[in-house]
Structure 1
Amino acid sequence: MRIAITGTPGVGKTTVSKVLGDKLGIKVIDITEFVKKYKLYKEKDIDMDSYVIDFEKLENFIKKIEDKEKTIILDGHVSHLLNPDYTIVLRCNPEIIKKRLEERGYKPKKVLENVQAEILDVCLCESKGKVYEIDTTNRDVDDIVNEIIEAIKHKKERKGIVDWINQYFDYLTLEIK
C-alpha cells in the first residue's frame, strides 16, 4: 500500500510522515531527499531552486522499495502524483506557511508561489482516489497522526474542509517586486 502525505511546502508533511512512520513501523520515502540523493531528476530549476523530477525514474525507484516493503509512506508535495492507494492532504494557514518558508530561506518568488498554491488548494485538486484532507494549523503532531491512523483504518474520505480563498484573495493578485 502506498500512502501519500502531500501538501504545500511548509504544512508539516515531513514531521507528520516521520512520526506516522515511526508509530506504524512503516518506511517513509522523503521524495525531495530521494530525488536529490539518487539523481531522479531531469534538471535543476535554478530560478525556483528546485529539481524537475523524472517521474519515470522515481516510479521505478519506488517499485524497488515496494518489493521489500508491504506498505510505504511517500512524503512530498508531489506524492499525490505517484499513484498512491490513499492520499492525506495536509493544509495550513497561508500566513504560517509564508513565515516557515521565509525562515527556510526560500526566495520571495518561491514563497509567493507556494502561498498561492495553498490558497488555491493545488495539492487537493490534483489528488485522486481516496483522499483525506486535514487542516494542520496550530495542531499537535501526535493529534494529526492519530487522526491519519483513524482515517486510514476506516478508509475515510474528506475534501473541502479548508477554504482560504475569501480570507487571502489579495495573495492571488500580488506581483513579485
Structure 2
Amino acid sequence: MKNLFANETGYQTTKIDVRGVVSNENKVLMVQESHLPSPYHVYKIFIRCEIIGGSATSGMETKKGQFFPKDHEINKIRNGCMSNTKRFFKLFSKNLKESLGPGQYEAEGIKVVCPHCNHDRFKLGKAQLNTALLTFFNLDFANRSADTLMCERCGNIQWFGKNINRV
C-alpha cells in the first residue's frame, strides 16, 4: 500500500474524473478508454454535452466510440474499461427525461397548472433563497434553494420550496 502512494508528493488530493455525456436521437455515446483503470478512489462527474460539429476520432485518452440505444443490453457493450456502465445508464435514463425540455409536473400529488393562463407545461429551474446574514459573510452557497417552474406559454414563474415531480 505504501508503494501505491509513493509517487504522490505533498497533500493527498481527491481524484476527479470528468466525463461528457453525449446523446443523439435517444442514443448515448460510449467510448473505450486508452488508459488503465486507476487504483485510487476517483469521483466521477458527468456533464451533459451537445454535438456542435466535428467528427469522432481516436485520441490520447480514447480508442473508439459508438452510439448505442440507451436501453441497449448492457452486457453486449461492457468490457473491462466500462465499469459502472449499468449504474451510469440508470442515472442517465432517470435524468434524460428531465433534460429534454418542458414537461408536466405535480407538487404534493397535485398537478401544477399556470395560474395565469392554465397551461400545464413548464421548464424546470432552480433558484437560490439568499438570506442577508449568509450573503453578508459571502456564504450564499449555504442557503437553501427552491425549484422553479416557468410556464412554456406565458413565462409565468412559480416557486416551490418542497420537491416537485415530473409526470
Tell me the TM-score normalised to structure 2 length.
0.22
Tell me the TM-score normalised to structure 1 length.
0.21
Q: Which has the larger Rg?
A: 2
Greater relative CO (CA pairs within 8 A, separation 6+): 1
Q: Which has the higher helix share?
A: 1
